[in-house]
């Protein structure tokens, strides 16, 4: 019994088509020339093969019938036709059959329209040819076939002078968008130049106007000697197409700037800046905005887009050096105020004088508070969840802050002009940032809550930890006070000597520290790291001055601002809540407390909003808690803008 093999058809010999079953032996005849198949060769060969196979069916050859059906399949015939077409085109460049297909299709359309009773096929053809995209395709086909790419330009005159400059004529169609270019006049020569082209603007997208091009005419009107404002007037009064005649700049600078993103650390308004070359081309931004710097070619004025961007067109912003200069000028122009910004808590000795007036009253209340504190701590221990203690909630730490707040009055926020530390914070108007996606194998980001005293920072923090103490935890604070009978070292506090504590302070190991009733208390970087390396999410509350200590590559804090709602809303929601007063007593909230919280919250937001990754308004406790939970998850799971130095600390200069 004979078996057909598919490879018979791989080496057909067109000259011996009828004898196809004789397979040429390429291995035994290496010198034989490759077989050429003509345009119709394969189709002919197939026809012969089919005839042969048909003959074999009657000879009871196994598989012949199946093969016959296969070879006769319409798809195989179509495939062969496609193959032959491709072969033809591969041999030479494609040539259009007609270069007037667009006109031809219109002719066909009008002929079809004239048919009295068109068939279904005619209707379908009419619909197909009438499709706009097919019309566009045919039009593109004709343009390509005619090689009609260039505009028709008049021939160059023969008598061109030798020193004739190359001119470029640029036509831009004016729409509602600004042209996106600024001009300047050379005061010596009176020539007008394109000063800058705004990234993503109309002029930029045309690709035909560049900074440094000399402007010769606008709409046929020579501009030499005109003031820039006069040219702007010409442009403002033009409609439709505007024609520019320019002498292109010879050495266009290559823009090899890499992508740069920054977080604005200051507010900026171009309308309030008399030094900006063109206020309309400027871009306002607020503290905390993320800006994509798209052009730094000018050392003074950069171009940037605010993210998330709604417009492709960039705006002018001052460069870092220019903004620093402006800040310095502004700073020096302000009247001097004594230093009111606090870096870390001063010792009690330093404060004593300042709080002397209240001291008697405080002493009396401290006695009362001491027992209350103990009661409070005991109740905290008894409510520990599954053997996990809610550490870092000791009132002593919070009272350190209160004492400091009391000592410095309400002026913990920098005023316009105060020395060193505040001034240095002004010196970095932009912070380089990158999009950072937390890696599951890395430690979690620290969650730092910040808010005015009494807004509910600790309440929210406590609630979060209580939801899942196996996931969320506070750091264990350090103290120099002796342990109480029920306390265990490393559980409620790390108990250390004053010398040890001082040494940690000197080595900047504390995020926050303070002194209360002769004892030092503090939250150390290592205590936070202990929680993080255990695989948990560390949640702390901080004061603004501690922002610097937590926004570091090792802690990568995600800062959440707990914002007070309106006074009215606070009155409604805090009806049954108590506030801890500056005299260490707990009493129901009063109207003046709400006013104070609102004012402190406003000031805090005004001064530090650039550091906030998220803001939660603590109105209803339940809703705020859900928002906090969502924000904390987002901090770990979603990409965030973080300082570049966190990712590449070695790049820091």
Ligand X SMILES: Nc1ncnc2c1ncn2[C@@H]1O[C@H](COP(=O)(O)OP(=O)(O)OP(=O)(O)O)[C@@H](O)[C@H]1O
Where does this chain bind ligand X (CB under 6 A)? 398, 451, 453-459, 573-574, 577-580, 618, 620-621, 624
Closer to ligand X at the Cβ: 183 or 570? 570
Tokens 């809610």, located at residue: 390
Whichever of 454 and 469 has its CB closer to ligand X, that residue is 454
Work out how close the CB of 411 gets to ligand X at its nearest, in angstroms, rounded to a whole number. 17
**Closest to 362 in 3D by CA, of 520, 578, 582:** 582
- Shortest CA distance to 501 belongs to which of 483, 477, 529? 477
* CA angle (364 as vertex; 363, 365 as ends), nearest 5: 90
d(CA 235, CA 174): 9
Between 105 and 458, whose beta carbon lies closer to ligand X? 458
Q: How far is CA 106 from CA 113, 115, 142, in A?
A: 11, 15, 13
573 vs 636 by CB, closer to ligand X: 573
Q: Tell me whether residue 270 or residue 456 sits nearer to ligand X (CB atom).
A: 456
- Minimum separation from the CB atom of position 540 to ligand X (A): 12
Q: Is the CB of 142 or the CB of 512 nearer to ligand X?
A: 512
Q: Round to the nearest angstrom and report the end-to-end CA distance of the chain.
A: 85
CB of 576 to ligand X, least distance (A): 8
CB 453, min distance to ligand X, A: 3
Least spacing, CB of residue 565 vs ligand X, in Å: 8
Residue closer to ligand X (CB basis): 294 or 597 = 597
Give the dihedral of Cα atoms 65, 71, 72, 78; nearest 10 deg: 160
Q: Is the CB of 319 or the CB of 411 nearer to ligand X?
A: 411
Q: The tokens of 82 are what?
A: 């496609």
| Contact indicator for 206, 170 with CB cutoff of 8 Å | yes
How far apart are CB 619 and ligand X at their closest, in Å?
A: 6
Q: Which residue lies nearer to ligand X by CB, 462 or 478?
A: 462
For the stretch 208-211, contacts whose Cβ atoms lie closer than 8 Å and that sit 24 or more positions apart, written own/partner, are: 208/168, 208/170, 209/170, 209/181, 209/244, 209/246, 210/248, 210/249, 210/252, 211/249, 211/297
- Cα–Cα distance measured from residue 597 to residue 446, given in angstroms and rounded to the nearest whole number: 25
In the bound state with ligand X, the residue whose beta carbon lies nearer, of 446 and 624, is 624
Q: What is the DSSP string of 378-416?
A: HHHHHT-BTTB--TT--HHHHHHHHHHHHHTTT--S--S
- Shortest spacing between CB 292 and ligand X, in angstroms: 36
Smallest separation (angstroms) from ligand X to the CB of 360: 23
For the bound state, the minimum distance from the C-beta of residue 447 to ligand X, rounded and expressed in Å, comes to 15
In sequence order, what are the beta bridge partners of 642? Answer: 434
State how far the Cα of 458 lies from the Cα of 611, in Å rounded to an integer.
Answer: 20
Those residues whose C-beta lies under 8 Å from the C-beta of residue 282, and which sit 6 or more positions away, are: 270, 271, 273, 276, 315, 316, 317
We find the least distance from the C-beta atom of residue 600 to ligand X, in angstroms, to be 10
Q: Omega into 443 within 30° of 0, i.e. cis?
A: no
Taking CA 405 as the corner, what is the angle to CA 364 and CA 562, rounded to the nearest 5 degrees?
120
Q: What's the rounded Cα separation, in Å, for the pair 471 and 446?
A: 12
To ligand X, the closest distance from the beta carbon of 591 in angstroms equals 15
Instruction: Give the nearer residue to ligand X in terms of CB position, either 429 or 475.
Output: 475
Could you tell me the two tokens for 40? 């119709």
Contacts of residue 399, Cβ cutoff 8 Å, sequence gap at least 6: 369, 516, 580, 584
CB of 456 vs ligand X, minimal distance in Å: 3
Rg (CA), the chain: 40
How many other C-beta atoms lie within 10 A of the C-beta of residue 154? 5
Closest by CA to 541, choosing from 566, 523, 525, is 523
Q: Which residues pair with 521 in a beta bridge?
A: 479, 514
| Distance of alpha carbon 402 from alpha carbon 404, whole angstroms | 5
Q: Which is nearer to ligand X, 421 or 573 (CB)?
A: 573
The closest residue (CB) to ligand X is 456
For the bound state, the minimum distance from the C-beta of residue 509 to ligand X, rounded and expressed in Å, comes to 23
CA nearest to 294, candidates 312, 320, 269: 312
340: which DSSP letter? -
CB atoms within 10 A of CB 631: 16
Would you say 185 or 394 has its CB closer to ligand X? 394
Shortest separation between residue 590's beta carbon and ligand X, angstroms? 13
**Least CB distance to ligand X at residue 466 (A):** 13
* Cβ distance to ligand X smaller for residue 185 or 461: 461
- Give the nearer residue to ligand X in terms of CB position, either 226 or 604: 604
């Amino acid at each position: 019994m004979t078996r057909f093999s598919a490879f018979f058809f791989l080496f057909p010999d067109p000259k011996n088509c009828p004898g196809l079953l004789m397979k040429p032996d390429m291995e035994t005849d290496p010198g034989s020339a490759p077989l050429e198949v003509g345009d119709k060769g394969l189709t002919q060969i197939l026809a012969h093969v089919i005839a042969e196979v048909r003959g074999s069916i009657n000879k009871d050859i196994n598989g012949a019938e199946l093969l016959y059906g296969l070879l006769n399949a319409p798809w195989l015939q179509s495939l062969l036709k496609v193959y032959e077409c491709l072969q033809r085109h591969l041999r030479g460049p494609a040539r259009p059959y007609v270069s007037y297909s667009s006109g031809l299709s219109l002719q066909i359309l009008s002929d079809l329209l004239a048919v009295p009773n068109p068939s279904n096929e005619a209707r379908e053809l009419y619909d197909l040819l009438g499709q706009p995209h097919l019309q566009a395709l045919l039009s593109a086909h004709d343009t390509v076939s005619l090689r009609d790419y260039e505009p028709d330009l008049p021939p160059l005159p023969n008598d061109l002078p030798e020193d004739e400059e190359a001119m470029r004529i640029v036509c831009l169609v004016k729409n509602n968008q600004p042209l996106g270019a600024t001009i300047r006049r050379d005061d010596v020569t009176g020539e007008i130049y394109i000063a800058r082209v705004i990234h993503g603007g109309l002029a930029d997208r045309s690709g035909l106007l560049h900074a440094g091009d000399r402007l010769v005419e606008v709409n046929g009107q020579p501009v030499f000697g005109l003031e820039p404002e006069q040219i702007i007037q010409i442009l403002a009064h033009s409609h439709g197409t505007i024609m520019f005649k320019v002498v292109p700049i010879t050495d266009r600078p290559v823009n090899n700037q890499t992508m740069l993103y920054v977080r604005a650390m200051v507010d900026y308004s171009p309308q309030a800046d008399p030094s900006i070359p063109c206020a309309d081309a400027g871009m306002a931004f607020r503290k905390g905005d993320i800006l994509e710097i798209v052009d730094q070619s000018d050392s003074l004025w950069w171009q940037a887009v605010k993210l998330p961007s709604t417009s492709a067109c960039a705006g002018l912003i001052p460069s870092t050096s220019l903004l620093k200069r402006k800040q310095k000028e502004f700073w020096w122009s302000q009247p001097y105020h004594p230093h009111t910004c606090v870096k870390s808590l001063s010792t009690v000795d330093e404060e004593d004088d300042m709080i002397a007036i209240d001291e008697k009253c405080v002493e009396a209340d401290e006695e009362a508070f001491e027992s209350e504190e103990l009661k409070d701590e005991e109740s905290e221990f008894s409510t520990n969840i599954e053997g996990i203690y809610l550490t870092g909630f000791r009132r002593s730490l919070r009272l350190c802050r209160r004492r400091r707040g009391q000592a410095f009055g309400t002026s913990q926020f920098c005023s316009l002009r105060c020395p060193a530390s505040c001034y240095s914070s002004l010196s970095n108007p932009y912070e380089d940032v990158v999009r950072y996606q937390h890696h599951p194998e890395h430690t979690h980001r620290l969650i730092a809550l910040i808010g005015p005293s009494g807004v509910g920072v600790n309440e929210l923090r406590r609630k979060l930890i209580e939801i899942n103490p196996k996931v969320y935890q506070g750091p264990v604070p350090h103290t120099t006070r002796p342990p109480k009978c029920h306390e265990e070292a490393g559980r409620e506090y790390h108990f250390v000597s004053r010398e040890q504590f001082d040494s940690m302070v000197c080595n900047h190991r504390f995020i926050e520290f303070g002194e209360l009733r002769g004892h030092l208390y503090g939250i150390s970087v290592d205590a936070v790291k202990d929680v993080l390396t255990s695989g948990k999410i560390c949640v702390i509350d901080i004061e603004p001055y501690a922002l610097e200590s937590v926004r570091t590559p090792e802690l990568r804090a995600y800062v959440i601002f707990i914002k007070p709602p309106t006074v009215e809303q606070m009155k409604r929601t805090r009806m049954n809540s108590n506030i801890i007063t500056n005299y260490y007593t707990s009493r129901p909230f009063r109207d003046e407390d709400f006013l104070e919280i609102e004012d402190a919250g406003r000031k805090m937001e005004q001064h530090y909003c650039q550091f906030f990754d998220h803001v939660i308004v603590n109105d209803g406790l339940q809703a705020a808690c859900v928002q906090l939970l969502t924000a904390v998850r987002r901090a770990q799971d979603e990409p965030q803008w973080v300082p570049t130095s966190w990712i590449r600390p070695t790049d820091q200069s």
